[in-house]
Structure 1
Amino acid sequence: MATFRSLIRGIIHGDLPPVGEKIIWRGKPKPLPTYEGFDAYWVDSGTSALALTIIAAKQLHPEVENPEVIIPAYGCPDLVAAAVFAKVQPVLVDIGKDDPGYDLDQLENAINDNTIAVIAVNFLGISDRLAEIKAVLPNNILLIEDNAQCYKAISMPDKIIGDFAITSFGRGKPVSLLGGGLALIKTTYRGKINVTNIIKKPKRKAVATITKAIIYNLLLTPQVYWLINRLPFLKVGVTKYKGLEEIISLDTYKEKIITANIDQHLASKQHPGYELANAANLSSLYKDRLIHPLRIPILNNNQSTPPEHQLKNLGITQLYKKSLINIDKVDNIVSPGQYKNASDMAKRILTLPCNHTVKDTHTLAIKGLFS
């Protein structure tokens, strides 16, 4: 009976989609935004953008024979893929306890003569302690801000602390074009690096972009997303390692519509998802580091996770279910280690939607699951 009721509810109400903004795929083209103090490289994905900055860091350190880049032990495996493409060894460093940012002591201990850069990840809108990271880095080590999950952090170039910064326009990102990325490199490095020859010409045609955008917008309808969310062969939300094969320039059609989508995102109002906070809510504990959250992360302190159908109905996801060291293929690339805090976060973290599709009834239901 409970299963039948769940089925009827899904058909009527659907599942909350993970994001709320639909793609603006038509309208008058607008010029690409500029970022004072930085040269902008528009490419096909956030992974490509990150790889480009690692390559730039490598070019600035030609004296290092076996370059390494430090990445957090909990995060997207694309971090590893970008380093591999750049032919730089990724080195994992554990995050803090109940904190998606680095354990600063472990970060400092991991730095050696081969380290050329540290990647600091903005996690769902929670920035790392960038000023403190910069303070522990020797002057020759570069800082890369990975803002793939928070466009607003990159929209304020005067507040960028890193030498490089990137964002993503992929599926489910704050500004989504179902593909695309942006790498910002400080203008002070002009003449010292050359990454343009790495970027290949785009292959995608406008009709493919438009078709995918229309389908994506349809999938954001709760009733349609409910169906997609329950087809196991689609593997919605599965985290896996996928190597990067090439860096391609952002196609011309996406260049025409990207600014309109950026403007839409920056003008959007966040649902008061902060009301969902409990004692383990990361956005509550680190609210001074929170910038326009993509989703609200919490650490589940309950002994058991609520039933899967309830989580899906309310748009609750487990995000990365494993720390990087435990993801297939990644474990063969990085050095083995325990990474206790990353493992703990992978087991406990859940993320809640905070877009305009969330209603007060959803908020009350979510609170009920974790009370």
Structure 2
Amino acid sequence: MFGTAAPVGESILLSTQEPPGTLLDGHLTSYFESGTAALAAAIRLTRDSRQLARPHVIIPGYCCPDLVAACLYADVEIRVADTLPDAPFYCRQSLDAMLDSDTLAVICVNFCGLHEHIEHVKELLRARESKAIIIEDWAQYHPQASDTRMPIDGLAIRSFGKGKPASILTAGAVICSPNFKQQAGKSWENFEFAPPSLSPLKICAFNTILTPEVYRLALLFGVIRPGKTEFHPLKQVTRYHAADMQLLAANIAAWQRGPNQAQQAIVAHLEDHTGMQPINDLSHYRQSRLLRIPVLLQDKVHRDEVLRKGASLGLSPMYQKPIIEVAGVPTDAITRHDCKNAAVLADRLITLPCHGRLRATQINKLLQLISGSNAHD
């Protein structure tokens, strides 16, 4: 039977052989029910640590609407800075224009496993003598066992939700730099713990729907709607229940030792073909385990053509629009700089799947798609 590849999604283990102590080598300060809840808790922590007249948080012009939801829950104003035209990272001039003495934090997003240019952001903050905190959003990234990179000056967020690295359908985490650890304990002590939320039935259903044949049927009957980006408000922030921690540890360990052949094959093929442009130097694509492989096409027409040709291969246009144009985002709550670069980026960007469930035939078809992706005339 003909099947359709999912854009992301590793199988979730039901085994719990790994001890909870393997979770991020003890760097993790606190777990929450979702990555969005973790981000909201981190923003509230920074808000409580400083007395500002009108605290605001800066987010990039091309990002997940969950960043907006977290900011609104934490009761801070939102400012949107433009991205680069060929990468979802901050345009320095736009970020500079959004900074002032009431800037509480700058959220730097790791996109599919590729880090924001953090040193450039730090350099700008130093030049402006800004006390803004850098919050690194690692919802789409999880380090391999050999990766010891941790936030030095601020906070970082992780997500273990559906379609994320080391997914168990739920959970998020905040990693604190040493100067935040004491404050974190006080800030989060009033958050309630969520009840256990995982069940073997839910996990088996998720694993089943990821098989190409079932995934195709789920698309056909509207059970899932990938590529549809909408804003959903965050209604509550709860801590993650300890009963699920051992399963989380097992799935983190499984992801770290999981297969990476698809990413290696696709990145090597991109090096020899110019139809798909990487958003960063390909050396960065090799250094990290990627959730997806982001590439740029010539324009929206070319992008849509490639998406049509690769409809069964798990390609995705990601957010498709700048954050200020995403359905449901309350634009009256946002101050924005001109996001013309983010609009261009949204029209050109797609992601290629690279998860361990891809079959050899699907990987070969992806390589053929890359080979034939030269821009239209």
TM-score higher than 0.5: yes
Paired residues of 1:144 and 1:162 also in contact (CA < 8 A): no
1:329 equivalent in alignment to 2:320: no
Residues 266, 259 of structure 1: CA spacing in aligned structure 2 closer, same or farther, 3 A cutoff? same
**In the alignment, what sits opposite 1:275?**
268
Rate the CA distance shift 1:198–1:135 in 2: closer, same or farther, 3 A: farther
Q: Which moved more, 1:272-281 or 1:79-88?
A: 272-281
TM-score under structure 1 length normalisation? 0.88
Deviations 1:272-321 (A, max 9, x none): 22034244422553633752111111112164422765433111111101
2:370 is the counterpart of 1:364: no
2:57 pairs with 1:69: yes
What whole-Å deviation, never above 9, does each CA across 1:210-241 have from its counterpart, x for those lacking one? 22111111111111111112334642331111
Indicate whether 1:338 and 2:338 are aligned: yes
Unaligned runs of 5+ in 2: none
1:111 aligns with 2:108: no
Report the secondary structure of 2:334's partner residue: coil
Residues 33/320 of structure 1: CA separation in 2 closer, same or farther (3 Å cut)? same
Of residues 232, 241, 254, the one that matches 1:251 is 241
Match of 2:284 in 1: 288
For the 8 Å contact 2:16–2:246, the answer to whether it is kept is: no
Deviation at 1:60, TM superposition (A): 1.3
Instruction: Specify the SS of the correspondent of 1:189.
Output: helix
Whether the 8 Å contact between 1:44 and 1:181 is mirrored in structure 2 is yes
From 185, 191, 194, give the equivalent of 1:202. 194
Distance, in Å, in 2 between the alignment partners of 1:154 and 1:81 is 31
Counterparts of 1:187 and 1:37, CA distance in 2: 12
For the structure 1 residues 150 and 190, does the alpha-carbon distance in structure 2 shift closer, same or farther, using more than 3 Å as the test? closer
Q: Distance in 2 between matches of 1:182 and 1:306?
A: 38
Aligned partner (choices 3, 20, 40) of residue 14 of structure 1: 3
Which has the larger displacement, 105-114 or 191-200?
191-200
Return the alpha-carbon distance in structure 1 between the equivalents of residues 33 and 106 of structure 2.
Answer: 23
> Greater CA deviation, 101-110 or 87-96?
101-110
Counterparts of 1:108 and 1:309, CA distance in 2: 39
Residue type at the aligned position of 1:142? I
2:89 paired residue among 93, 101, 108: 101
What code does the residue aligned with 1:22 have?
Answer: S
Give the corresponding residue for 2:171. 180
CA RMSD of aligned residues (A): 2.4
Give the letter for the 2:38 counterpart.
A
- Tell me the distance in 1 between the aligned counterparts of 2:99 and 2:181: 26
After TM superposition, the structure 1 = structure 2 runs for residues 1-371 of structure 1, keeping only pairs within 5 Å, are 12-28=1-17, 30-33=19-22, 35=24, 38=27, 40-61=29-50, 63-137=51-125, 138=129, 140-152=131-143, 156-193=147-184, 194-206=186-198, 209-232=199-222, 234-270=224-260, 271=262, 272=264, 273-277=266-270, 278-279=273-274, 280-282=276-278, 285=281, 287-288=283-284, 291-301=288-298, 303-304=301-302, 305-306=304-305, 310-330=309-329, 331-356=331-356, 357-359=358-360, 360-371=363-374
Partner SS state of residue 76, structure 1: coil
Call closer, same or farther: CA 1:29–1:287 in 2, change over 3 Å: closer
- Checking the alignment, whether the CA contact within 8 Å between 2:12 and 2:207 is kept in structure 1 is yes
Q: CA deviation at 1:86?
A: 0.5
Per the normalisation by structure 2, the TM-score is 0.87
Amino acid in the other structure paired with 1:237: G
1: CA distance, partners of 2:26 / 2:16: 30
Identity over aligned residues, as a percent?
27
1:32 to 1:139, Cα distance in 2 relative to 1, 3 A:
farther
Which residue type is aligned with residue 367 of structure 1?
I
SS at match of 1:313: coil
Bigger mean CA deviation after superposition, 69-78 or 281-290: 281-290
Whole-Å separation in 2 of the counterparts to 1:336 and 1:343? 13
What is the deviation of 1:203? 2.4
Q: Which moved more, 1:172-181 or 1:295-304?
A: 295-304
Distance 1:286 1:70, change over 3 A: farther
Letter in 1 for 2:298: N
Amino acid of the structure 1 residue aligned with 2:121:
I
Contact 2:151/2:176 (<8 A) preserved: no
SS of match in other structure, 2:311: helix
Count of residue pairs brought into register by the alignment: 357
